[in-house]
Amino acid sequence: MLAAGTARAGDFSIESAELAGGAFGRAQVSDSFGCHGQNISPSIRWSGVPEGTQSYLLTMFDADAPTGSGFWHWVVADIPASAHGIAPGSGNDVAGLPAGAVPMKNDTGHVGYLGPCPPQGDTHRYVITLTALKVAKLPVEHDATPAVVGYTAHYQALAKATMTVRLSR
């Protein structure tokens, strides 16, 4: 299992205490699809915020999922510009999200975090991205698909900070 715990885009950067050790811990791994983790989202902290940021979008995407189009594990929209992080476990407990943040559907159709669980014998890349946005609220419905959320955010983006975490099973 390999990971990166900190990532930068200019001065805009994200980090995660739970991922800094080089891997997803059992706590972050899915408790479904044949995995036996705890499905607890990692904390994410950020700094070096671009001027003009009105909100953030947080996503976790499996670029190697055998779907032909990857797999969105986690989407949180409308994180207020005043926030500088989210707590561990807030992916499935909205009380841990900054006030105003909106958890969105993942690719299972459920709202919230779904931890990684690559197929046996595979290594997958999980890309965690925080996008600084020039709007306070993304103009998407609360039941929008992750792809629609990402498409809409692309046109409102000021900057992105990413980290790629690899997981093998």
- What does the pLDDT look like over 81-109, one tens digit per residue? 999 999 999 999 989 899 999 999 999 99
Q: Which of 80, 69, 72 is nearest to 137 (CA)?
A: 80
Lowest mean pLDDT among 4-8, 61-65, 155-159: 4-8
CATH domain 6-168 topology: Phosphatidylethanolamine-binding Protein (3.90.280)
Domain boundaries, the chain: 6-168
Give residue 140's pLDDT: 97
Q: Residues 59-81: pLDDT tens digits? A: 999 999 999 899 999 999 999 99
Backbone Cα Rg of the chain: 15
pTM given for the model: 0.92
Amino acid present at 168: S
* Per-residue pLDDT at 23 exceeds 90: no
User: Is residue 50 exposed (0-12), middle (13-18) or buried (19+ Cβ within 10 Å)?
Assistant: middle
